[in-house]
Structure 1
Amino acid sequence: MPIKIFVDQGHNPSGHNTGAENSGINEQDITYNVGMYLAQMLRANPEFEVRVSRPGPDTILGTSNATSLKARVDMANDWPADYFISIHTNSNVNPNIEGTEVYVYKAYTESYFLAEHVLRGIVTVVGTKDNGVRVNPSLYVLRRTRMPAILVELAYLSNFEDRQRLIDEQYAFAEGIYDGLLVYFGLHPAE
């Protein structure tokens, strides 16, 4: 039985639930691309089955922030997925804040250990700063999914170096997530 991974590309391309923006770069465009690269990698491996929340760059989910988040969770729960990965980019008023972090609902759970592997994968492949795995039980997609779920903040759009990585290294970010999954599932040894 293949492992069923639901890849949620955070935010909508327009209207409600759009993401962060900096210097003309939009979070939802980056998350869409990284999610599609990750889905390609997963589809190429018979160990996995994958679905994405936004199959096209213009896909808009829900009619408000709340229904957009609910639609993503419902798709994963109804499938039902074995694991849920939500992809985001971060932003901060302080442009010096940089790096990758992964959010989970609760510490020392299956989600938490998956998050550690995915974080290590991204930091290793892309070279971002390791900001650790963080617990945030208030995040809807982590709270309402019925399977282990992680929310990946790839890097900061508000930081110059991170923003360049998010523009230039979208495939590498996907590769980092994919490598983390492979190591977590014991499908290939860590380098």
Structure 2
Amino acid sequence: MAIKIFIDQGHNPGDINAGASGNGLVESEITYNVGIMLAGLLFADPNFEVRVSRRYSDTVLGTNQRTSLQQRVDMANGWPADYFISIHVNSNPNPAINGSEIYVFRENSVAYNMAEIVLDNMVYFTGMKNNQVRVNPSLFVLRRTRMPAMLIELGYLTNLHDVEILRNKQFAFSFGIYIGLLEYFGLPYQL
């Protein structure tokens, strides 16, 4: 039985739930690309079934931030997915802040254990700084999904070191997440 993974490419192009931008990069474009590449890796692996929130780069979900987030959650819950992965890019007023982190609803959970392995692999393949797995039960997509959920912050658009990696190693993020999932489930890597 295939493992059903729902990939939410955080934010939208345009003005509705638009996300961050900086140093020539736009969050919704990066999250779309990384999500589609991850979906391609999962689609090619018979151990997984995969769906994405944004099938096309110009897909806009919802009419405001709340309905945009609700639509993503409803798609995952309605499928129903076994696991939910939301992909984001961070920003900070302090340009020195950098690195990757993953948010989950609670510690000592399936999502937390999975996130640790995924984050380790993602930073291994990209060279990002590991900011560890963090608990944030206030995040909408972590609160409202009915399956283990992770919100991945790939890196900081406001940090020049991260910007280079976010611009040039998008496949490496996808591949790291994929290898992390394989490791978590104890599955072999198949070309």
TM-score under structure 2 normalisation?
Answer: 0.98
Letter of the structure 2 residue corresponding to residue 186 of structure 1: G
**Contact 2:100–2:131 (Cα < 8 Å) also in 1:** yes
Query: Which residue in the other structure is 2:59 paired with?
Result: 59
3-state SS of 1:177 partner: helix
Question: Take 2:123 and 2:188, find their aligned partners in 1: how far apart are those partners?
Answer: 18
> Paired residue for 1:79?
79
1:149-180, Cα deviation, whole Å (9 max, x unpaired): 00000011110010110010000000010011
**How large is the RMSD of aligned CA atoms in angstroms?**
0.8
Aligned letter for 1:80? P
Report the Cα distance in structure 2 between the residues aligned to 1:91 and 1:142, rounded to whole angstroms.
Answer: 20
Pair 1:34-2:34 in alignment:
yes
Q: CA deviation at 1:24?
A: 2.4
Amino acid at match of 2:108: Y
1:17 and 1:24 map into 2 onto residues whose CA distance is 19
Cα distance in 2 between the residues matched to 1:178 and 1:106: 22
Identity within the alignment, %? 60
Structure 2: 5+ residue stretches without partners: none
Farther off after superposition, 71-80 or 15-24: 15-24
Q: Which residue of 2 aligns with 1:4?
A: 4
Taking the aligned partners of 2:74 and 2:130, their CA distance within structure 1 comes to 31
Unaligned runs of 5+ residues in structure 1 are none
Structure-1 separation of matches of 2:162 and 2:15: 26
2:82 is matched by which residue type in structure 1? D
Aligned residue in 1 for 2:138? 138
2:170 maps to 1:170: yes
C-alpha separation in 2, matches of 1:56 and 1:112: 30
- Distance in 2 (CA, whole Å) between partners of 1:174 and 1:135 is 22
Which amino acid counterpart does residue 126 of structure 1 have in structure 2? T
Shift of residue 25, structure 1, vs aligned partner: 1.0
Matched to 1:74, the amino acid is D
The answer (yes or no) to whether the contact 2:23–2:163 under 8 Å persists in 1 is: no
Query: What do residues 104-145 of structure 1 show as CA deviations (whole Å, max 9, x unaligned)?
Result: 000010000011011011111001001000000000000000
Question: Distance between the aligned counterparts of 1:24 and 1:123, measured in 2?
Answer: 23
C-alpha distance in structure 2 between counterparts of 1:165 and 1:64, whole Å: 30
Q: What amino acid sits opposite 2:153 in the alignment?
A: E
1:86-105 aligned at under 5 Å gives the runs: 86-105=86-105
